């Protein structure tokens, strides 16, 4: 077999917060299709809008860490969590809970970055 497995070195030096936000953004993007609220009006279009924004921020921060990431994650997470009430789709339980849970995960990544020193995943690339 000539296929290549996931190389663990791809995650070396990466913040677990960025990985969490990336996964949450991808999950948010696909949630209307996978969880069956694709015909729920506002809920069906906001998830595919916010998801890629979260993914883009996470990818940018995985490539080049920046101090503004904590504020971006906090803002995007709070916006995602509040979207069911701001955009009035709180009555659609699946959509509401999806946005709240994934939004809290993204906001938690921002809060963790605010209060916990960064500890990248993997071995220290500067270790001798």
Which pLDDT does position 90 carry in this prediction? 86
Q: How many CB atoms lie within 10 A of CB 38?
A: 15
The whole-number pLDDT of residue 8 equals 46
121 pairs with which residues across the strands? 14
Mean pLDDT (the chain, rounded):
85
Q: Predicted confidence band at 81 (pLDDT cuts at 50, 70, 90)?
A: very high
Q: What are the beta bridge partners of residue 14?
A: 121
Structure tokens at 76: 């995007």
> Distance between alpha carbon 107 and the CA centroid of its chain, in Å?
9
pLDDT at site 128: 53
Structure-token pair, residue 80:
């995602």
Residue with more model confidence, 39 or 3 = 39
- Separation of alpha carbons 75 and 34, rounded Å: 25
Indicate whether 7 pLDDT > 50. no
Does residue 37 have a pLDDT over 80?
yes
Q: At 23, is the pLDDT very low, low, confident or very high (cuts 50, 70, 90)?
A: very high
Which one is predicted more confidently, 44 or 125?
44
Q: Which residue has the higher pLDDT, 15 or 24?
A: 24
CA within 13 Å, CB half, 119 = 4
Structure tokens at 23: 């996964």
DSSP string over 95-112: HHHHHHHHHHHHHHHHHH
Q: What is the pTM of this model?
A: 0.80
């Amino acid at each position: 077999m000539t296929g290549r497995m996931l190389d663990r070195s791809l995650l070396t030096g990466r913040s677990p917060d960025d990985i969490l936000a990336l996964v949450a953004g991808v999950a948010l993007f696909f949630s209307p299709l996978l969880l069956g609220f694709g015909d729920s009006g506002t809920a069906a279009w906001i998830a595919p809008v916010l998801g890629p924004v979260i993914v883009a921020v996470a990818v940018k921060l995985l490539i080049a860490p920046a101090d503004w990431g904590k504020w971006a994650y906090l803002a995007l997470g709070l916006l995602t969590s509040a979207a069911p009430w701001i955009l009035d789709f709180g009555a659609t339980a699946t959509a509401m809970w999806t946005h709240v849970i994934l939004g809290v995960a993204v906001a938690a990544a921002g809060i963790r970055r605010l209060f916990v020193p960064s500890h990248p995943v993997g071995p220290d690339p500067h270790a001798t």
